[in-house]
Amino acid sequence: MLVLPKDWMERWQGRDAFDELFSLEGKIYSEQKGRKAVRFSIGGKYYFAKLHSGTGWKEIVKNLMQLRLPVFGAQNEWRAIKRLEQLNVKTMQLVGYGKRGWNPAQVQSFVITEELANTVSLEDFCRNWPTSPPDYALKRALIAKVAKIARALHEHGVNHRDFYICHLLLDVSGEREKLAPESLRIYLIDLHRVQIRRNVPSRWRVKDIAGLYFSSMDLGLTQRDLFCFIQVYRNRTLRMSLQEDRIFWQRVRRRGIRLYQKLSEKTAKVI
């Protein structure tokens, strides 16, 4: 399977498109065994390519032994982007997709998206909140926006598996100091481990929300901020959610704290 813009196919006419893509020159943003992400330009425009060259049977078996679902190629990210588009959750704009081979340990695949220019991760955008608090309306709007994204995913059978604020990009194409709370645009990225099914099991909901909680612990959030998230995420009154979903939120809190303590040398700022 090969889907690419017509002008790219014309540019590479008579050459192997897979060979051209896998030999792209550009800035490598991440590289792991059998997978890398490259920023490159064609015709003066920038794109990102996620290139999968096969992980090998050893890595596949290792993942299975650890009860982790292996990522065999770019198809998962391609499907995830398509699903998020259906849910009106902003994400990367697809440009191309390709896959060749049948052996899951050696299959080559790629997904290409447009660069999300003029964006900043929420991790970076919110980094200075403890010492330089944001505008109240903006903070609440950001929290509500993230909660709505999480709700849209989980209510429609999608869980992210790496749901941290560094994977939520805020559009700052205007002036950062003049962002309008009522028109915020946040893009969800890093979708290669996304799972899609009819319903999201509770343990995967807990993992996603605990990831958000863990990655927000150093932002100086208050209990009221967390209550805002809970109310919007569950789309019901705060009292109902805290009463009916008490065990769920206890599990989220415990998991988030454990993750913070595991990955940080600091003491968790428990709210």
Of 75-84, 97-106, 213-222, where does mean pLDDT reach its minimum? 97-106
Q: Which pLDDT score, from 0 to 100, does residue 73 have?
A: 80
Is residue 141 very low, low, confident or very high in pLDDT (cuts 50, 70, 90)?
very high
Q: Which pLDDT score, from 0 to 100, does residue 176 have?
A: 63
**Active site (annotated) includes residue 135:** no
Is residue 108 very low, low, confident or very high in pLDDT (cuts 50, 70, 90)?
confident
Last residue of a domain, which of 83, 114, 145?
114
Q: Where are the alpha helices (H) located in 156-201, listed in sequence order?
A: none
Condensed to tens digits (0 to 9), the pLDDT of residues 158-206 reads 999 999 999 999 999 876 667 888 889 999 999 999 999 999 999 999 9
Helix (H) or strand (E) holding 144: helix 136-155
Q: Which two tokens stand for residue 228?
A: 């805002």
269 within some domain: no
Q: Which pLDDT score, from 0 to 100, does residue 34 have?
A: 78
Catalytic residue among 162, 171, 218, 245: 162
Residues 161 and 79 in one domain: no
> How far is 34 from 54, CA to CA, in rounded Å?
5
Plot region of 58 (φ>0 → left; ψ -120 to 50 → alpha; else → beta): alpha
Q: Which pLDDT score, from 0 to 100, does residue 70 have?
A: 59
> How far is 163 from 171, CA to CA, in rounded Å?
18
Nearest to 26 by CA among 52, 50, 8, 59: 50
What CA–CA distances, in Å, run from 72 to 99, 196, 238?
Answer: 11, 15, 41
Residues 10 and 65 in one domain: yes
Residues 140 and 259 in one domain: yes
- Give yes or no for a contact between 78 and 111, defined as CB atoms under 8 angstroms apart: yes
Q: Which pLDDT score, from 0 to 100, does residue 216 have?
A: 96
Residues 95 and 148 in one domain: no
With a threshold of 0.75, does the pTM exceed it? yes
Residues 181 and 73 in one domain: no
For residue 187, list its beta bridge partners: 169
Condensed to tens digits (0 to 9), the pLDDT of residues 35-67 reads 889 999 998 899 999 998 866 555 555 555 555
Q: Which domain holds residue 83?
A: 2-114
